Amino acid sequence: MTTQMTPGSGVGSRIPGAFSGTALRTDFPVFDRPTGTGKRLVYLDAAASAPKPRRVIETIADAYGHHYANVHRGIYELSEDATARFEAARATVARFVGAASPREIVFARNATEAINLVAYSWGRANLRAGDRMLTTQLEHHANIVPWQQLCREVGATLDYVSITDDGRLDPDDLRAHLANGPKLVAVAGVSNALGTINPLTEIVRLAHEAGALVLVDAAQSAPHMPTDVAALGCDFLALSGHKMLGPSGIGVLWARRELLEAMPPFMTGGSMIIKVTLDGAEWNEVPYKFEAGTPAIVEAIGLGEAINYLTDLGMDAVREHERYLFEQAWAALREIPGVRLLGPDDPAIHAGVISFVLDGIHPHDVATVFDSEGVAVRAGHHCAQPVMQRYDIPATTRASFYVYNDTDDVEALASAIRACQNLFS
Ligand code: PMP
């Protein structure tokens, strides 16, 4: 393994038990690439998609080169090898999220598809005219639009928990909506637009007391902190591989087995059946009932290796590392006049995502100036337009940290802001 966990250099030296972001950069080939301006790449856009460690890239190349055939069908050694690696990745994902069994892990294309699977399959079988379901104003569009479509189609009502001025879900509003008896609560673990870490344990407890199931959109939480569906007690959880150092094209739906057993298939075709006659078909067992067609074989194997990489670092250490960087960055940015920071002030409930607005400068201009400094950030509505509407802004600039970032990157962020302000003053 190439992961370096040497204490004594970079930010790691100041975090007990954690690793060095500076040292870890050598694991990621993208940091060998010169930027257009010749400056060092300061990658602060993990919330959109994360770079891949060499280990993951090599695993993907090796899987295509030496272990590739279709899975679950060949009666020959190569296909059995590919199937074993694909299923081992499913078991790795199951351990990573605390699932009771790999059978509770459904591979999808991304978090969006995993959420749509629940909306189409569970939603259309269980939600009726007059029913209610609940999501929140701080969700990514992936956790809003599928529910809007579902509710429109079946005649149900979709409610939204509102956001406080400092970017938290309003607990009183949550309780008030739960009193209306929603059948499902769909909520993000971490907001991609504000960085807020939602109190999932409390939300799940209250939702279950109110008789609702809970879907967690873990696209922004699973890559950055421990996930344990058993401890959390939620019912569905969705994540995306590409945000957690894995390949694009692979996502995961975890659901309690009895829910998966009872749900009708989302897509139909090959692999998801046991028997087909001209009169009809019998579904395969879970999770295969939900994996129609040839799956993303190598992508799943690559995701398994990305999880191995993260597990080697330790998810508690990943969270600690990002919390430290968040605290440094938040403190630095708060000192700069003309910077409006969004989201909670409390590092205990703020992930390594900082959304901000510079007075009088459009976020797209900010990101363009940043790019000339070698600093890659995201500018826009972050697929969370209701959040922008809540704060009456068109867009924000968003810096998001991951394992390979360090305090030099925090300084680069602060100095890019100053460069931008100087340019536009
Ligand atoms: N939910 C959240 C909170 C996200 O940040 C994202 C990606 N930005 C998604 C869902 C959707 O992920 P994907 O595009 O990989 O399906």
Tens-binned pLDDT, residue by residue, of the chain (425 aa): 333 333 333 444 455 457 999 999 999 999 998 888 889 999 999 999 999 999 999 999 999 999 999 998 778 999 999 999 999 999 999 999 999 999 999 999 999 999 999 999 999 999 999 999 999 999 999 999 999 999 999 999 999 999 999 999 999 999 999 999 999 999 999 999 999 999 999 999 999 999 999 999 999 999 999 999 999 999 999 999 999 999 999 999 999 999 999 999 999 999 999 999 999 999 999 999 999 999 999 999 999 999 999 999 999 999 999 999 999 999 999 999 999 999 999 999 999 999 999 999 999 999 999 999 999 999 999 999 999 999 999 999 999 999 999 999 999 999 999 999 999 98
- Dist CA 214 CA 182 (whole Å): 10
Residue nearest to atom 5 of ligand 1 (CA): 192
CA of 216 to the centre of ligand 1 (A): 12
- Answer yes or no: is the C-beta of 240 below 6 A from any ligand 1 atom: yes
Q: Which tens digit of pLDDT belongs to each residue from 91-113? A: 999 999 999 999 999 999 999 99
Residue nearest to atom 14 of ligand 1 (CA): 112
CATH number (3.40.640.10, 3.40.30.10, 3.90.1150.10, 3.30.70.60) of 21-33+315-424 reads 3.90.1150.10
Q: Which of 198, 220, 237, 385 to mutate to test the pocket of ligand 1 (most atoms within 8 A of CB)?
A: 220
Options 151, 234, 383, 420, the catalytic residue? 383
Could you state, in order of their start, the residue ranges of all structural domains in the chain?
A: 21-33+315-424, 58-311
**Is 234 known to be catalytic?**
no
- Answer yes or no: is the C-beta of 198 below 6 A from any ligand 1 atom: no
Domain boundaries 58-311, CATH class: alpha beta
Q: Which tens digit of pLDDT belongs to each residue from 205-218? A: 999 999 999 999 99
CA of 79 to the centre of ligand 1 (A): 32
- Answer yes or no: is the C-beta of 46 below 6 A from any ligand 1 atom: no
Q: Which of 45, 112, 244, 385 to mutate to test the pocket of ligand 1 (most atoms within 8 A of CB)?
A: 112
pLDDT of residue 357: 98
What pTM was estimated for this model as a whole?
Answer: 0.96
- Answer yes or no: is the C-beta of 272 below 6 A from any ligand 1 atom: no
Neighbours of 360 (CB within 10 A): 10
